[in-house]
Amino acid sequence: MKIRLTKGQISVLIIFAVLIIDQIIKVLVKTNMYWHESIRITDWFYIYFTENNGMAFGMEIFGKFFLTTFRIIAVGLIGWYIHRIVKRGFKTGYIVCISLILAGALGNIIDSVFYGVIFNESTHSQIATFMPEGGGYSQWFYGKVVDMFYFPIIETNWPSWMPFVGGEHFIFFSPIFNFADAAISCGIIALLLFYSKYLNDAYHAGIKHNENADK
C-alpha cells in the first residue's frame, strides 16, 4: 500500500529531518573535537571545527542578541508563510525550498539559544561536554553556532604580476559552514533557479495588497 504524504506533511518531514541531521552532526563535532581541530577527508574536504557568533558562513553583523532575536522572528514569519502556501496549494518543490530555509534557520537558532547553557567552552586543549557540572560557557540566547564543513577546492598563490593581490595566498571557497547553512543555501538557490515566477508573483501580490490597503 502506497503512503501518500500531503504537502504539509512533506514540509514537516523535511524540517524535522534537517533539524535532526544538523544537530547530530553538531553535537558529535562539539563533544569529540578540539576547537579548530581538523580532520582531512580529501585534499578539498575537511571537517574543521569552529564556532561563530554571527549568521551563515561565519559572517558577524550586529550584536549576538539581536541576531538571535532576528532569527526567531524570521522563522516565525517563514513558518506562517509555509502554512499559507500549503493551504493555497503551491507546488511541492516550492514548499520544499521554503521548508529547507526554515529548517536551516531553526537549526542555527537552537545553537544560539541553547548551546551556551548546555555545553562548556571548546578550546584548543579542552573538548566540550554536555551539561557540565560547572555550567555552560554563556547564557541563554548567547550560544555560538557550530560549523564544520570546509571545502578549500583550490588553494594556491596569486601570480606575482597581478596588481594588489600578486603573490598572496588564495583559497577558493574558504567559508566554513554547517548542515543548516547548506539547507538554507540549497533552498535559496533552488528558489532562484526554478521558482522565480513564484517569487515575482508573491512580490507583486504584496504590492497590490499594500495599494489596496492605502485606498
Instruction: Enter the pTM of the model.
Output: 0.86
> Taking each helix axis from N to C terminus, what angle separates 179-194 and 7-30, rounded to the nearest 10 degrees?
140
Q: Is residue 1 part of a domain?
A: no
Q: Is residue 190 part of a domain?
A: yes
**Domain range spanning residue 169?**
7-214
Q: Is residue 84 part of a domain?
A: yes
Q: Is residue 41 part of a domain?
A: yes
Q: Is residue 163 part of a domain?
A: yes
Those residues with Cβ within 8 angstroms of residue 40's Cβ, 6 or more apart along the chain or in another chain: 46
Kindly list the catalytic residues: 147, 181
Residues 8-47 have pLDDT tens digits of 999 999 999 999 999 999 999 999 999 999 999 999 999 9
Q: Is residue 134 part of a domain?
A: yes
Total domain count, the chain? 1
76-102: average pLDDT: 96
User: ∠ CA 101-104-106 to the nearest 5 degrees?
Assistant: 110
Q: Is residue 2 part of a domain?
A: no
CB 30 within 8 A of CB 120: no
Between 105 and 157, the more confident residue is 105
Q: Is residue 47 part of a domain?
A: yes
CB 67 within 8 A of CB 59: no
